[in-house]
Amino acid sequence: MSEAIVTPKKQVKERKSGPWRDGWRSFKKNKIALIGAMLVLFFVSLAIFGPLLAPQGINEQMLANKLQPPSAEHWFGTDDLGRDVYSRVILGARISLLVGFLSVIASAIVGSFLGIMAGYYGRWIDTIISRLFDILLAFPSILLAIAIVAVLGPSLQNALIAIAIINVPNFGRLIRSRVLSIKEEEYITAAKAIGMSDRRILFSHILPNAMTPIIVQGTLAIATAIIEAAALGFLGLGAQPPQPEWGKMLADARSYFITAPWTMIFPGLSIMLVVLGFNLMGDGLRDAFDPKMKN
């Protein structure tokens, strides 16, 4: 009697695996990281659709209604010039996020290039670039940013440049250490053995394998950049009036902290929430994509 062969009615599909897919699955399981991502998405939406959500113009002054507390007409109250704080906070998200994203992108590009050159070629190139990073890291970041803006002149654009410069060593040293380990791999040795050019090795093999720490570091660096932009704005070295930058709003409202605390509470709360969102999301990405953080 022949044995019956039982075939399953449904075949279970094999679960696709890969570093990016596995990392994304791990990230989705992290509820705290998802909360951070939702906060980031919320403020990014404010930055994109701010002009449609703001009930009044950012520079529309109504001196008769200055320093009015929050109400149905002015949800966040008004400032010392009668401007709607709610509208200015919403449109201020665009400035803060723009500075954060652009400065981090610029510092990531420059820092990654220098880090790759230092890690791959070594010798005197590594020595010069590493000493440059050490010089930049020798100064407290905010003091170095203040010095750069003082030389270039106070403006939002110069503040962006200063923030980008002070973040270059963070990306450079991170990528340098990553390149030092990647270039010892067997597939890099094989690529050199078959005569592949350094340019192709760098952009086809090393850079793609070093993208994960860049993304994680970039997410955390955006939060730092937003704080630094707010600090420069508070000191009068960043965005200039009448731009509704959160740090500048805090500086303008500090004289009314007792009589009109809402003029400081809402810009300060916005800075806290957006920075918290990027930090939570960055920690989640690090836990998901960094092999050292996995069990």
The answer to which of 87-101, 129-143, 234-248 has the lowest mean pLDDT is 234-248
Note the pLDDT of residue 245.
Answer: 85
3-state secondary structure of 62: coil
Q: How would you classify residue 4: left for phi > 0, otherwise alpha for psi between -120 and 50, otherwise beta?
A: beta
- pTM flag (> 0.95): no
Q: Using a CB cutoff of 8 Å and minimum separation of 24, what contacts does 130-135 make?
A: 130/173, 130/176, 132/169, 133/168, 133/169, 133/172, 133/173, 134/169
The residue whose two tokens read 């890291």 is 137
Per-residue pLDDT band for 1 (boundaries 50, 70, 90) equals very low
In our burial notation (b when 16+ CB lie closer than 10 A, e otherwise), range 167-181 reads bbbbbbbbbbebbee
pLDDT tens profile 221-277? 999 999 999 999 888 888 887 888 888 888 888 888 888 888 888 999 999 999 999
More confident of the two residues 103 and 3: 103
Phi-psi region of 84 (alpha: psi -120 to 50; beta: other; left: phi over 0): beta
Structure tokens that stand for 12 in this block: 């279970």
CA distance 26 to 288: 5
Cis, peptide link before residue 169, omega less than 30° from 0 = no
- Highest-confidence segment of 74-78, 79-83, 252-256, 276-280: 276-280
Predicted confidence band of residue 7 (pLDDT cuts 50, 70, 90): very low
In this predicted model, which residue has the larger pLDDT, 106 or 54?
106
Q: What is each CA distance from 118 to 190, 198, 221, in whole angstroms? A: 21, 13, 22
What pLDDT score does 293 carry? Answer: 52
Which region, left, alpha or beta, applies to residue 15 given φ > 0 means left and ψ of -120 to 50 means alpha? Answer: beta
Q: Which two tokens stand for residue 163?
A: 């923030």
Residue 11's pLDDT is what?
45
Rounded Cα gap, residues 64 and 51, in angstroms: 24
pLDDT digits (tens, 9 = 90+) for 272-294: 999 999 999 888 888 777 655 55
Does residue 6 have a pLDDT over 50? no
Cα 208 to chain centroid distance, Å, stands at 20
Q: Which tokens belong to 270?
A: 């916005």
In the prediction, which pLDDT does 148 show?
92
Domain 29-57+74-290 falls under CATH 1.10.1520.10: no
Predicted confidence at residue 291, as pLDDT, reads 53
